[in-house]
Amino acid sequence: MIKIYTDLEEARRTVLRRRSTLHSDNVPEPVRSGIRRIFGAERTPEEAVARILSDVRQRGDEALREWTARIDGLTLDTFEVPAEALATAHDALPPDLAEALHLAAERIRAFHARQPIPSWMTTDLGGVMGQRAVPLRRVGIYVPGGTAPLPSSLLMAAIPARVAGVDEIYVCTPPRRGDGHVSPVILAAAHIVGVDRLFRLGGAQAVAALAYGTETVPRVDKIVGAGGLFTTLAKRQVYGLVGLDGLYGPTETVIVADDSANPAWVAADLLAQAEHDELATAILLTPSRSLAEAVQDQVARQAEGLSRNEVIAASLAGQGGIVLTPDLETAVRLADEFAPEHLCLSVRDPEGWAERIRNAGGVFLGEHSCEVLGDYVAGPSHIMPTGGTARFASPLNVLDFVKIINIVGLDAATATRLCSTAARIAQAESLTAHAAAAEWRG
């Protein structure tokens, strides 16, 4: 079910080579046929999204209803879920599930409460200088709901926003195609966090509603959260009108393991990653042939009893693999070059090897720190950079929900002293009005 690559160059050309899912030439045929069905003609995903965004911007709620009917096959009279429905869903949860969600929420809140929000002031530069971190006023969170409800994603996005002090948190999540309702477990999670409003909207039309505002959905300052292809393309097209946390592709995990690793545990972690969807990436890098073969065997054995076996098989065949490396150092270097969303170090000295890592959304130290715990309850947000963007991007955190305002309060003596310097630089830029404004005060 999962291939072992013994040729490092072959692995670089195949399993370790990234393929962007946001380019039209990589769009699977089922997506293309869906576009033809909805639009009655060939359109690229970018063109389809642009059409939806433009229509919602011009026609508001009416367009939301039409696109929800065309895409999801649902006729919705109202979009907002009443607040009392959130409380009702929470109260109806099985006690063990309610306890699990509350524990996850507590750990997520505790972790993010330790992240510093950097406001500071100084008089060392002449007068009063500094910066003020100001929470965003209104944030929209997209919570996927496609093939499975993801209350964990709601907790992982909304709790850092609450910790940061965001005034209003709005959630959009797709309604179920069968009955048009939102999964009760997502409603319960929204109640636990205390979101202000929740709308049953999905896809590009949900992003459009949050970015532009409609009669029902208020416009927000920033949109966060992962979604599918059309959600991500919509986020990219509205950037600049609103802020974004990032553009997320399919989820990915790279495991670096030596011969001390438990092959059954490594296989279970690969399968858990592949379970997400057919485009998910699950890769093992190891210098141990015996471990590679044992993991390959365990993957085949364990997959037989899993409910999403077909999805797992497609994921492992498309993007998965076990790569044999000459040594552990090479494995770590390849992982760092790949810049994965999740990097798991199942090795004897995980802390030591972690010091060599510059590029990863999250580093999971040792076999007890499995990525699945990070998905749900460890504490840090599981919304992390994908597609190699961990080279320059960070996981979702409290700083995503604040902006910095610079404070400049120079005293008269300092300002007089600096005016000639400012004027000289302005003259070099041929900005004579700038120079004059400084010279008047000098």
Query: Would residue 341 show up in a list of annotated catalytic residues for this protein?
Result: yes
Catalytic annotation, pick one of 252, 341, 367, 371? 341
pLDDT tens column, 43-52: 889 999 999 9
- Burial status of residue 352 (CB atoms within 10 A of its CB: 0-12, 13-18, 19 or more): exposed
Q: CATH fold of 4-18+250-378, please?
A: Rossmann fold (3.40.50)
DSSP state string for 247-286: ---S-EEEEEE-TTS-HHHHHHHHHHHHTS-TT-EEEEEE
Q: Which residues pair with 406 in a beta bridge?
A: 131
Question: What average pLDDT does this structure show over 75-89?
Answer: 96
**306 near 273, Cβ under 8 Å?**
no
- Taking the domain 22-123+133-248, which CATH number applies? 3.40.50.1980
- Tens of pLDDT, residue by residue over 316-336, are 999 999 999 999 999 999 999
How far is residue 128 from each of residues 120, 405, 420, measured CA to CA in Å? 10, 14, 20
At residue 93, φ and ψ (nearest 5 deg) are -65, 145
Q: What per-residue confidence (pLDDT) applies to 145?
A: 82
Calpha distance 382→160 (Å, rounded): 11
Angle at which helices 95-113 and 151-164 cross, to 10°? 40
pLDDT > 70? residue 287? yes
> What is the percent of the chain with per-residue pLDDT over 70, rounded to a whole number?
98
Task: Considering the chain, tell me which residue range(s) the CATH 3.40.50.1980 domain(s) occupy.
Answer: 4-18+250-378, 22-123+133-248
pLDDT (tens digit, 9 = 90+) per residue, 88-116?
A: 999 999 999 999 999 999 999 999 999 99
Both tokens assigned to 321: 């693999």
pTM: 0.94
Which of 90, 276, 342, 382 is the catalytic position? 342
Q: What is the mean pLDDT of residues 144-167?
A: 92
Catalytic status, residue 191: no
Dihedral over Cα of 33, 38, 41, 46: its sign: negative
Residue carrying the six token digits 């989820």 = 251
